[in-house]
Amino acid sequence: MAFAISLATVGMTWLGASPASAHTPVISADCAGVHVKATAYDAGQQNKWSVTIGGVTQSGTFGSSFEQTFPVPQDGATTSWSASISAEDGSFPGQGSGSVGPCGTPPPPTDVCVDLPGDQPDGTGCTPPADVVRADSKALEGCDVTFDGTTYGAGELTYDEQYTDTHVFDTTTNTWDLVTDTTATIANVEFTPWSVQEQVANGCTEPGNQPPAVQAVESNDSVDCAADTVVTTTTTTTTPYVYDAATNEWVLGEPQVDTTATEAPVESGVCTETGVSSSEVSVETTEVKTVATPAEPTKVQVPIYVDAGVGADTTPVLTATAAAAPLAASNGNPMSALLLLMGAALVLVGGLKLRRS
């Protein structure tokens, strides 16, 4: 509601002065403005006026009279005001103050952010602040790592749980509020498989059963007619399987060699049946076999060559070493024993060695 204030200051007259010289200030205000009027002041002085509207002050001087209306805002608001008039020396003052309004029609709301809901005034941030990204590092390990529906096997898996906090516009305060993300996004998944050694160390796999050792047996018979003995030398080579952690397998290790020698008398007739002196005959035989587990060496009777000892061009005559059963079957006949042993000698002749004593 508009209202007006009027002040009339009764002019003081000097002694002998006429009523026409009275000082008359008039101040009023309404929605039409603040009206200031002064009459009958001394024209020879710098008389003063001042008007303040909505905190903004205007001032000036005048002579004998002054009259002006100062506008007030017409934006539908209520406006405070004040005004004063006085002579140059401060005499004959007139003043007033108050508020007027609301005056005029409020302007339509200003929407500075057309992409946001509601009408935002000047100074509103139309663009949201940058998102805030957070990440938590995680790790899994084991013999059978499974993550997010995928099975990776034995090893270590690392990944990040990422969160993105966003801003939401609050139409009540015309500000952006930060909203915390509670649903993780999985990123930077990396799986490092364990080596065979690591799998064994973590109990993911067990070594298989140790295979039996591989064993090779070499038997060497030496007939010494001069000493009327047969010396059997047996060399047993045992190669065990050792565990290789790098491949999780059993592999052949270092061989272990064991040598034994046994001595037995030459069976009757072996060195003398051909008429050769016993001091001139000695024979070596060799057998090699491979077995999975250690076994006792077995003495093998094989045919041998016997040198007749007549000369370098003399043809050797075949006989046998301690072949007791064939000799017995021949009823002591040297020729029968010789024929029997020749057949066996032809089968094994490739493995025989002749050594003269």
pLDDT tens digits, 200-258: 888 888 777 889 999 999 999 888 888 888 889 999 999 999 988 777 888 999 999 99
| Cα(33)–Cα(81) distance, integer angstroms | 10
Write down the pLDDT at residue 278: 40
| Cα(298)–Cα(289) distance, integer angstroms | 10
| Whole-number average pLDDT of the chain | 76
Domain extents for the chain?
Answer: 19-104, 132-201, 214-356
Q: Which helix (H) or strand (E) holds 327?
A: helix 324-329
Write down the pLDDT at residue 292: 54
On the question of pLDDT at 191 being above 60, the answer is yes
On the question of pLDDT at 184 being above 50, the answer is yes
Q: CA 122: distance to chain centroid?
A: 48
On the question of pLDDT at 262 being above 60, the answer is yes
Mean pLDDT within 342-349:
45
| Cα(20)–Cα(339) distance, integer angstroms | 186
| Cα(32)–Cα(74) distance, integer angstroms | 9
Q: Does domain 19-104 have CATH number 3.40.50?
A: no
Q: What is the pTM of this model?
A: 0.36
| Cα(302)–Cα(288) distance, integer angstroms | 14
Q: Which residue has the higher pLDDT, 24 or 58?
A: 58
pLDDT tens digits, 306-334: 333 333 333 333 333 333 333 333 344 44
Range of weakest confidence among 103-117, 140-154, 159-173: 103-117
